[in-house]
Amino acid sequence: DTAVSQTPKYLVTQMGNDKSIKCEQNLGHDTMYWYKQDSKKFLKIMFSYNNKELIINETVPNRFSPKSPDKAHLNLHINSLELGDSAVYFCASSQAPGGVMGNTIYFGEGSWLTVV
Amino acid sequence: AQSVSQHNHHVILSEAASLELGCNYSYGGTVNLFWYVQYPGQHLQLLLKYFSGDPLVKGIKGFEAEFIKSKFSFNLRKPSVQWSDTAEYFCAAYGNNRLAFGKGNQVVVIP
């Protein structure tokens, strides 16, 4: 069973469209994240939720809006997509906020977003 | 905020060669350190982690890392690499309630 699953895996869309990426974890974790990996493979955190509450919100355009309907799900909605949004988006989860006492973050397989 | 730096972004070596990847972090109190691996087209997987105890940490697939507090370093090593070790390797450090990643090392092992 996939621990952290995200859909879709590949998404090609036109500029200006609105799209969502869904994420679900079956690990019983309290904390979930969205990371963005750019074309140079640099990983940067975007958002983090703990028990459905937003705890990290990096400097991300407000076109990006996370939504956590319950502890097991954290979806990412992107409005008015731009060319620069093309990247791989990774969902992740951990038992507690990342790094605490060696707590491990588990990653999903990534969603490859291409904006044309 | 925690920051992580990795050097020698591109590493090319032959099978059976030894590998060492450097990782330095900025001081931020209690340090929790991680190495993740990303095989081509796949997600990140944990190789090993350090948060206390023995500074020499053993991970999966024959990897190990040594935490040297005085040098703010957490270098990754493998004595003899295989073609299947071709991947991107990321060092990460916990601080300010978030896990910060380095820019990664792209390792290519030639058969």
In chain B, where the domains are located: 4-110
pLDDT in the model for residue B3: 85
Contact with chain B for residue A2, Cβ under 8 A:
no
Instruction: Locate all alpha helices (DSSP H) within chain B, ordered by sequence.
Output: none
Q: What is the pLDDT of residues B46-78, one digit of tens each?
A: 999 998 889 999 999 999 999 998 899 999 999
CATH architecture of B4-110: Sandwich (2.60)
In chain A, where the domains are located: 4-115
Contact A104 B49 (CB under 8 A): yes
Round the average pLDDT of chain A to a whole number and report it. Answer: 90
Domain A4-115: what homologous superfamily? Immunoglobulins (2.60.40.10)
How would residue B96 be classed by pLDDT, with cut points 50, 70 and 90? low
User: At residue A7, does pLDDT exceed 90?
Assistant: yes
CA distance B62 to chain A (A): 19
Q: What is the pLDDT of residues A18-67, one digit of tens each?
A: 999 999 999 999 999 999 998 888 888 899 898 888 888 887 889 999 99
pLDDT in the model for residue A1: 58
CA distance A24 to chain B (A): 15
Note whether B20 and B11 are within 8 A (CB): no
Contact B101 A55 (CB under 8 A): no
pLDDT in the model for residue B97: 67
From chain B, pick out residues whose CB is under 8 angstroms from the CB of A56. 97-98
